[in-house]
Structure 1
Amino acid sequence: MDAGAAGQVKKEEGLTEDQLRELIQGPGDVEWKYEMRRECQEILPGLLLGPFQVSKSLPTLQGMGVTHIVCIRDAKEAFSVKPRFPEHFVYLTLDVEDSEEQNLIRLFPAARQFIDQAIAQGGRVLVHCNGGISLSPAFVVMFVMQHYHLSWEDALHYVQNRRYCISPNGGFLTQIKEYESIYKATQAVASHPPQQRVVSRRKREDDDDEDEQK
């Protein structure tokens, strides 16, 4: 983890560097077994990640307290990978091609807003694609990155240490890296006092007026 990212998280979450490393490392007492890839795992409080198989079992979903589901699928999977229980859960369905050329960054804000609102309401969100290996994990890594103000590598490790089988394809990894600079730039703009921006703009306008008078 770079020092800047560590400082950001410590400031936001009140964590020491040791606590932050423990957070990324995740629970150390979990023995990963192959069949666990067919289950879902809690990535952060209120956010679960898994395969489509989990979303087909109403008792399983209810037992985990799921209230919202993000269904991410390739368009050609729409006949099978689809919301199964719309009367029980709030769904967001995203048609996303599982290829290295697919633009995830453009689609991510809708998913992030949906997850944020659900958790803020006290809900629990399951994010799934067909296998829970590449497509849905890419979205969750970006969410964790921005939620905890992490670097892309730390966010990837954070999610991998909770769902060991994830492996976003090369194109998705490239976009995850790109998203780090995007969210940091957005944060920088948001942290810049609006009043200061107004004053700066007025100063530029005054300078322009003086130039015109000359």
Structure 2
Amino acid sequence: MDPSILGPSNSSGVQGVAPYSARPPSPPQIHVPSYGSDIGDLKILPSFKGVNAGQLTQNEISIITQDKAQIASDQSCGWQYEQRRVAQRILDFLWLGPTSSTRDLGFLQKEGITMILGCRDSQYQLGFASIQKSADKLGIEAKFVDLVDGKAGFVNAFRAATSVINSHLLDIYRRQAVAHGPDTASVAIDSQNFRRGKVLVCCESGNDRSAAIVAAYIMAIFNVDCIRAMQFVGLQRFCASFDDETKFVLRAYEDTLKAVEDVRNQNAALQTAAQPAPAQRTKRRIDDTMDHDTPAPDDTAMDMEANDQDRYQNRSFVPFVDNAGGPSPQGHRT
């Protein structure tokens, strides 16, 4: 029903007195507070808690992040409109920008970019040929992640992008690692000539899909919530935009990371206590779901009706009235 139309309800003789809608209520908005210069710089630290232990070790996290804190400063004061057309550094090893920034070969060489990660709309994949051309000219890698509409599609893209970025950074490190001593598992790095891997994440504008990918990466590697991750990206690239759908997806991804951490902690506790894993619970029988103290159906119906009337005892507003002008007997929606 159109909420702007006051018409009769489905019950005869009853009239609505205020606009209403039959659709489900909208979810509450996720508010991202602005992080101004008066608060100070935003600092995040690498963490092993947010990453799936089956994919990365603590040592690999240290290789990727160099165990360095990342700091974001408020860029809003000196921000100019033209800066949305170029890429900005979000982390020491991660840049965010539009696809057009990949055509600036001088910029890519100056910043030492070793891989370009293009974030494509699953229904619109044109305009990304320039990424591959630039990568071929400079002899660097070009990878692509397709984002499918919907929460599951975005979460899968977050995981895929995080895996691609980490694999590339570790591969760059291992190429330059040489065996040290008789133990081939022990490696050493020539610190003077070491070249760290650096990734440019981009989409058409550099403000939406790629910004969400970078925020999700920060959540996984630095174990921060979605609000802090969006604030961090917004400070470094002021034009980054997160719409309501993206915020809800990032919140869902945050819950996923927390669930992974809870499972890891539980498994660690079981191993420490040397306890076997709990046996699988058998399927409940219908008798297990029955409450033998449940009152008779007639009594339940009467109690529900009484409780429904009690809800409106002290209310001056009633959503429906009868056509004669008086309030409906129970004063509630029918």
Q: Judge conservation of contact 1:92–1:111 (CA < 8 Å) in 2.
A: no
Q: Which runs of 5+ in 1 are unaligned?
A: 2-8, 14-21, 209-214
Q: What's the counterpart of residue 147 of structure 2? A: 96
Structure 1 residues 35 and 147, CA gap change in structure 2 (3 angstroms) = same
* Structure ID, larger Rg: 2
Q: Of 178, 184, 195, which aligns to 2:271?
A: 195
- Deviation track 1:131-159 (CA, whole Å, cap 9, x = no partner) reads 01111001111111121111110111011
Q: What's the counterpart of residue 7 of structure 2? A: none
1:116 Cα deviation from its structure 2 partner: 1.4
Read off the aligned partner of 1:80 and give its amino acid letter: G
Describe the SS at the equivalent of 2:78: coil
Q: Which is worse superposed, 84-93 or 154-163? A: 84-93
Give the ranges of 4+ consecutive aligned residues of structure 1 lying more than 3 Å apart after TM superposition.
Answer: 9-13, 99-102
Q: Judge conservation of contact 1:100–1:172 (CA < 8 Å) in 2.
A: no
- Deviation track 1:74-104 (CA, whole Å, cap 9, x = no partner) reads 245433223223432212112335x567821
- Structure 2 distance, partners of 1:43, 1:65, is 15
TM-score (norm 2): 0.50
Q: What's the counterpart of residue 161 of structure 1? A: 235
1:105 correspondence with 2:155: yes
- Structure 1 distance, partners of 2:207, 2:227, is 17
Percent identity, aligned pairs only? 25
Q: Judge conservation of contact 1:41–1:48 (CA < 8 Å) in 2.
A: yes
Return the structure number with greater helix share: 1
- Structure 2 distance, partners of 1:56, 1:126, is 12
- Deviation track 1:30-76 (CA, whole Å, cap 9, x = no partner) reads 72111111111111110111100111222221111000111112245
Q: Judge conservation of contact 2:97–2:201 (CA < 8 Å) in 1.
A: yes
Residues matched between the structures, number: 189
Over the aligned positions, Cα root-mean-square deviation in angstroms equals 3.1
- Structure 2 distance, partners of 1:200, 1:151, is 33
Describe the SS at the equivalent of 1:103: helix
- Structure 2 distance, partners of 1:102, 1:35, is 34
Q: Of 57, 74, 85, which aligns to 2:134?
A: 85
Q: Of 95, 109, 121, which aligns to 1:74?
A: 121
- Structure 2 distance, partners of 1:44, 1:91, is 19
Q: Of 84, 109, 118, which aligns to 2:168?
A: 118
Q: Of 244, 253, 261, which aligns to 1:170?
A: 244
TM-score (norm 1): 0.76
